[in-house]
Copies of this chain bind each other. A is one copy, B any other.
Amino acid sequence: MNFINKLFRKSRSKPNGIFCENLEKIIEFEPQSYAHYYRAFMHSSMQEKDENGSDLNYERLEFLGDSVLNTVISSYLFKHAPQGNEGYLTVMRSKIVSRKHLNLIGEELGLLKLLMRNIPDHQLGKNITGNIFEALIGAIYLDQGYLFSERFIQKCLIDKYVDLNELEKRVTSYKSLVIKWCQKNKHEFEFCTKVDNGCDEQQHFSVCFYIDDEVVSKARETSKKRAEEKAAKRAYYALQNEIKTKALNI
């Protein structure tokens, strides 16, 4: 019998225990079914399986919650930024659903307290609270439907963190900033990125960023995306006298 079934053994409609009580304090409503929420707080380190032998953890719910979040924010932006074109809406959405925001909300809600895991906190990864927040949205969507999820996101995220004027000014992707600068100023550019594990066990990528065939910056990180963003940030500061005055209207 798997973990969730054990928890539901006594009563399938509302199991006893501190989990339900704490969950309700966080979400401020009584779920119709608790099963989705248990899954949303189940870390893969628990190695739980469902009755078919499939992994039972929050990762599938995180995938679903991420989509729901994107749609709710897209809809919000469509209505509240009537003058923004598609490019503006895309940039603003990525600023609103940034890992930084989601992690912050996850921390504020105290989601980590409910997480069932078998490893110490420092091994959970730096985006753990944001990931559980997305999984929680996935659970709410399945339990209560789209409109309810929309109201939950409005309360936890939009009302607290979305100020379109302030967000407009925030730089979140140095890569797109330097690419746009190169394109506007007719410079050729190139990110040369390759796997470069060196002596590390974990996979690493190293990147050279060229403008007009000259190396402007280099970086090495555990993902291609992070390596390129780091190199772009270094290039941005190296070039800041040229770029800075143009940053706000890119």
User: Footprint of B on A, CB under 8 Å?
Assistant: 50, 52, 54-55, 59-64, 66-68, 70-71, 74-75, 78, 82-86, 89-90, 138, 141-142, 145-147, 182-183, 188-196, 203, 210
Contacts and interface: CB of A to CB of B under 8 A. Distances in A.
A2 to B, nearest CB: 14
A215 to B, nearest CB: 13
Contacts of A63: 74, 78, 86, 89-90
Contacts of A50: 82
B67 A54 contact: no
Contacts of A55: 85
Contacts of A188: 194-196
Contacts of A210: 194
Nearest to A79: B142
A195 B203 CA distance: 28
B60 A78 contact: yes
Contacts of A146: 71, 146-147
B52 A64 contact: no
A189 B64 CA distance: 32
28 contacts: A50-B82, A59-B85, A60-B85, A60-B86, A61-B78, A63-B74, A63-B86, A63-B89, A63-B90, A67-B70, A67-B74, A67-B75, A68-B71, A68-B74, A70-B70, A70-B71, A71-B146, A145-B147, A146-B147, A183-B203, A188-B194, A188-B195, A188-B196, A189-B195, A190-B192, A190-B195, A192-B192, A194-B210
Given A75-B64, A75-B141, A54 B70 contact: no
Given A54-B83, A188-B195, 5 more contacts: A52-B83, A60-B89, A63-B89, A63-B90, A182-B195
